[in-house]
Amino acid sequence: MTKGILIPIGGSEDRFENEYHGIDHIQESILAHVVRESGGSDQKIIIIPTASSIPEEVGEMYLNAFGKLNCTNLHVLNIQNRSQSESEETLSLVRDCRCIMFSGGDQSKIVNFIGGTPLHELMNQKLREEDQFVLAGTSAGAMCMSYEMIAGGSATEALIKGNVSMKKGMGFVPELIIDSHFVIRGRFGRLAEAVAAFPHLMGLGLSEDTGVIIRNGIEFRVIGSGMVILFDPSGLTHNNFQILSEGVPMSLSNMVTHILANGDRFRLDDRKISVLPLSEQMI
């Protein structure tokens, strides 16, 4: 069983950039959750902006955001080739950290530069063995956590076979296929196609400024201001994906869909959903 904590985030989480935010708001933000789950603001946090096309700027942005949460032990690890993921300098920096934060961008860069390297194995080891180690990622940094990973795909041609490209991801949570910016970019169709191709997996669609805290690899709690959409294909009675040619519309029957919000919980092992009582919701 995984001891560490995973926090996939749907992208565009509040980083306190545009206007003044009171301390109460900041302390309820997704990044504040990341810090708390890591053990507090004095813990070592490593920011990996590998997925970004502007990694230096993105690294600085997260230094500023975590700095507003009073974090002082911050490091940017800008990995741009596989040799960096194999170096003792990199591994030494990561061994005693309590949190790794992957930025958004292109999830394939994370897999290409880190997947299958000693750094990847070290991350897996820390997840297996350290109960207060947090591996967080936003947008591409969340999507790479899947084993069957969405690498790209058209939202405008949704539910047409062949419009979603898949590749092997980092496999931190292999039971899920994760998509980000889910609602605002209309990605219902591409996650549905991905789940149709791998119906033994659940689909997790994350809205912006929304994430889930995953404990023990199976216990999920929703955080943030938006929605989480879950696709459960375990009861499918019809799925024509495997017999279709590319470019042909798909049909799926009885795929269960859940829409969850802040505080709601679910489990991967028994697919049980627990919705926060109305009296406890922020209205």
Residue 254 Cα distances to 59, 157, 196, 231, 237, angstroms: 43, 22, 12, 10, 6
- Residue 137 in domain: yes
Residue 148 has pLDDT above 90, yes or no: yes
- Please name which of 65, 55, 8 lies closest in space to residue 202, comparing C-alpha atoms: 8
> Phi and psi at residue 223, in whole multiples of 5°?
-130, 160
- Owning domain of residue 43: 5-276
- Residue 26 in domain: yes
* pTM for this entry: 0.94
To the query of whether residue 139 is one of the catalytic residues in this protein, the response is yes
pLDDT tens digits, one per residue of 97-133: 999 999 999 999 999 999 999 999 999 999 999 999 9
Q: How confident is the model at residue 23 (pLDDT cuts 50, 70, 90)?
A: very low
Token pair for 160? 């047409």
- Residue 12 in domain: yes
To the query of whether residue 129 is one of the catalytic residues in this protein, the response is no
* Catalytic residue of the set 181, 193, 207, 208: 181
Does residue 149 contact residue 167 with C-beta atoms inside 8 Å? Answer: yes
Mean per-residue pLDDT for 246-255?
94
Residue 18 has pLDDT above 80, yes or no: no
* Catalytic residue of the set 29, 85, 103, 139: 139
Residue 158 has pLDDT above 80, yes or no: no
- Residue 283 in domain: no
- Residue 167 in domain: yes
Residue 283 has pLDDT above 50, yes or no: no
- Residue 120 in domain: yes
* Catalytic residue of the set 60, 157, 175, 219: 157
To the query of whether residue 181 is one of the catalytic residues in this protein, the response is yes
- Please name which of 48, 64, 29, 44 lies closest in space to residue 104, comparing C-alpha atoms: 48
Alpha helices in 68-187 (DSSP H): 82-86, 88-95, 107-114, 118-129, 140-143
- Residue 63 in domain: yes
Residue 280 has pLDDT above 90, yes or no: no
> Phi and psi at residue 104, in whole multiples of 5°?
-85, 180
Which CATH number is 69's domain given?
A: 3.40.50.880
Type and span of the H or E element at 279: none
Angle at the Cα of 68 from the Cα atoms of 64 and 73, rounded to 5 degrees: 70
Residue 24 has pLDDT above 60, yes or no: no
Number of domains comprising the chain: 1
- Residue 133 in domain: yes
- Please name which of 221, 13, 219, 195 lies closest in space to residue 104, comparing C-alpha atoms: 13
